[in-house]
Structure 1
Amino acid sequence: MTSQPFTVRSVQAFCYRYPLSTPVVTSFGKMLDRPAVFVRVEDTDGNAGWGEIWSNFPSVGAEHRMRLVNEVLAPATCGRTVSAPEEIFEALTQGAAVLALQSGEPGPFAQAIAGIDLAIWDLFARRRKLPLWRLLGGNGKTIRVYASGINPTGSRQVAEAAIKRGHRALKLKIGFELATDRANLASLRDLVGDGVLAADANQGWSLARALEIAPHLREFDLAWLEEPIRADRPWREWQELRENVGIPLAAGENIASRAGFEQALGDNVLRVVQPDIAKWGGLSMCLGIARDILASGKTFCPHYLGGGIGLLASAHLLAGIGGDGLLEVDSNDNVLRDRLCGPLIDVTNGTVTLGDEPGSGIEPDLSPIEQYRTA
């Protein structure tokens, strides 16, 4: 995918934190605030594109990723002439490979590069005067969504609020006490009726524990059980889960290589595959992976739990790819999402509709969230 070459003039990352009245709880820890690292890339013609870097963990990680962009990757990007958006991704990935290895930080580097990549694709689409979803090959701009991030405490109230906002599909965080998980699943199944209900264990169980618990979850007709065990466990453990749990399995947010996704798509272990474009790969890698997911007969559901710019890019990817997957939308309060996600704020009968404006379709205004900026 090429166009008239352009030259990158500037790259800048901005870091924000929005304090939460109710922490987001997972089986491995909790978030006391919602961080976001936004990236702006401008060309020498004055056009700008926006991206976002995954920065949820550790709690001190957002500012570090911002500095990786501003102090390491931006100097390596500015002045480059670009004919195709994936050129920057490839150059930065190769150029930073030894440094990422030497520092023991392949994850943070991959996340920072993904954020720059998203901004480059947004800029590329704006220069082509095309909405990003159409540039990515889409024929329709309406996609299904689901409300996620539903905690083990107060889950019914949060889910009811999501339903009132227009959601028709829910995902509950589990991996706590079995009685609590079952009670919450029963409550949400009652609320959503025969709609989509999924559960996310956030890598919380051993294989033995997952095999023990799964029979107690089957009655809730889950659309998928997400990351019941660690993402890096031997594939034979995932295969054993698939053979015995009786619930469709989902994973992908913690797969960070093309080889990892090739393995995930090579058999019938996973029913739902969930790459996170702000965590690894950006659009340059995840566009092809998403196509492979559909070609393999699996469901592509972009993983996302961050600010509005990355969420909007994820929506454009899903619309561009098509299929019957759903976009993850965090159900917790977050102005860093709501102020910058454009049409995604309006959920109607479980769907959202993107616009026809160039790129992501919004011109981000950071002034209303200035009070939350940390660096």
Structure 2
Amino acid sequence: MSTHIIRAESFVCRAPIAVPVVNAFGSMAERVAVFVRLTDADGVTGWGEIWSNFPTIGAEHRARLFDAFIAPRLLGRSISDPAAFWAEADRALHLWGLQAGEPGAFSAALAGADLALHDLLARRAGLPLWRWWGGTNSGPVPVYASGLNPGAQALAQVEEARAVGHRAFKIKIGFGEARDIATLRPVFDGRQADERVMVDINQGWELPAAMRMVRVLGEFPLTWIEEPLAADRPAWEWAQVAGSCSAPLAAGENLRGALDFYQALAGHHLGVVQPDCCKWGGASATLPVARAVVASGRAYCPHFLGGGIGQLASLHLLAVVRGNGMLEMDANPNPLRSLLIEPILRVTDGMVAVPAGSGLGIEPNVEAFDQYVTSRTSRDA
């Protein structure tokens, strides 16, 4: 089966929020997303999302990279193998990214296009993405509430997430020992028997602080400790931290390239691996990595904290690979996510059902998020 692409569009969306989303390196006072749509000669469409979470000022730039560098490679072509297209484009764009000093932005723009291609071909086949990728298990997928702010907000957000069906929660720390402990103790005091709690430092510690803090955190039965170090710190530092803490380490959202993931697996310092399909690799490169993660005995937990298209793509990826991973679901207000996923995703006892519709499971209604669109590009073959 092939598709002949005749149109490529991007939509930059911005939605202000009342309470900023805070982490160890900054905060966001608005939610942004870059959605892309491909249309083929038969009028079938496919949707993808380009990672643009932080800094939010980069959203328009990534959309322009898609428009200038990715769309021309798609338009007028008949494509039957998205993975082959991704590999070809990734090689071609490699030097552009190096020359520009920002390979990550090019990788994200290509990832969004790759997801849209997969969605389009799955729709043509009349299959949900998870089944089109070879999945056979139609059972629900475990999820966790993510992005919970530090301080008193953490407990309130845990209670809100629990009320809508979550049974696992990830809290942001890395703001100093006293504040981090004050954040976690009330959460664990109120934790129910079947609930899990994780923490995310967002690369906020250097080795001495990480070594000290993972021992301090030993008083809490954490499911994992995420990004205690910068993603580019040497493997021996990660191994040293992993050997000093009682909870598994998690990372992967800031790795880019299959080699980086396979080296991390070979190093045995990660118990949870978290590639972000909108940030690098799309589905074409993420699926082989995810399968390798599960085959190695580690947990594949797709990272995601953006709009609704990437959320659904991440769900389908986990539904294919399974293992003992969980799907990350942002608990903070974001209409760019909720407008798209709420019609088909409901959390029940910490699980969500996999979509049964073709492709992502929805046909996004552009008018639904039109009020948030601040920039739009369109190219035709």
TM range (shorter): over 0.9
Q: CA deviation at 1:242?
A: 1.2
Which residue in the other structure is 2:276 paired with?
276
In the alignment, does 2:260 pair up with 1:260?
A: yes
2:133 is aligned to 136
AA at the equivalent of 2:98: L
- Kept in 1: contact 2:3–2:121 (CA 8 A): no
Match of 2:146 among 148, 162, 166: 148
TM-superposed CA distance for 1:246, in Å, is 2.2
Moved more, 150-159 or 278-287: 150-159
Query: Matches of 1:345 and 1:192 in 2, distance apart?
Result: 25
> 1:72-111 maps to which residues of 2 (within 5 A)?
72-111=69-108
Matched, 1:296 2:293: no
1:307 matched to which residue of 2?
A: 307
Alignment of 1:309-324 (within 5 A): 309-324=309-324
Correspondence for 2:170: 171
Instruction: Report the CA distance between 1:342 and its aligned residue.
Output: 4.9
Change (3 A) 1:242 1:233: same
- Aligned-pair identity in percent equals 48
Q: Does 1:122 align with 2:103?
A: no
1:95 Cα deviation after fit:
2.1
Equivalent-residue separation in structure 1 for 2:14 and 2:205 (angstroms): 30
Aligned equivalents of 1:177, 1:240: Cα separation in 2: 21
SS in 1 for 2:303: coil
Query: TM-score when scaled to structure 2?
Result: 0.95
Alignment length (residue pairs) = 372
Q: Is the 8 A contact 2:271 2:299 kept in 1?
A: yes
Is the 2:344–2:355 contact (alpha carbons within 8 Å) kept by the matching residues of 1?
Answer: no
Which of 349-358 and 300-309 deviates more?
Answer: 349-358
Partner of 2:243: 243
Secondary structure of 1:192's partner? Answer: coil
Following superposition, the deviation at residue 343 of structure 1 comes to: 5.4
Q: Which moved more, 1:335-344 or 1:164-173?
A: 335-344
Q: Does 1:31 align with 2:28?
A: yes
Indicate the residue corresponding to 1:60 in structure 2.
Answer: 57
Q: Which amino acid aligns with 2:173?
A: I
Deviation digits for residues 204-259 of structure 1 (CA, Å, limit 9, x no counterpart): 00011011111111121000000001010011100111111222100000010111
Indicate conservation of the 8 Å contact 1:167/1:347, yes or no.
yes
For structure 1, the 5+ residue unaligned runs are none
Code of the aligned partner of 2:130: W
Structure 2 match to 1:46: 43
Q: TM-score, normalised by structure 1?
A: 0.97
Distance across 1 between alignment mates of 2:355 and 2:164:
20
Cα distance 1:245–1:199, how it changes in 2: closer, same or farther (>3 A)? Answer: same
CA RMSD of the aligned region, Å? 1.2
Q: Which residue of 2 is the match for residue 220 of structure 1? A: 220
Name the residue aligned to 1:159.
158
Contact kept in structure 1, 2:214 and 2:241, CA below 8 Å: no
Write the deviation string for residues 153-186 of structure 1: whole angstroms up to 9, x where unpaired.
3111111111111101000000002122112212
Deviation at 1:267, TM superposition (A): 3.3
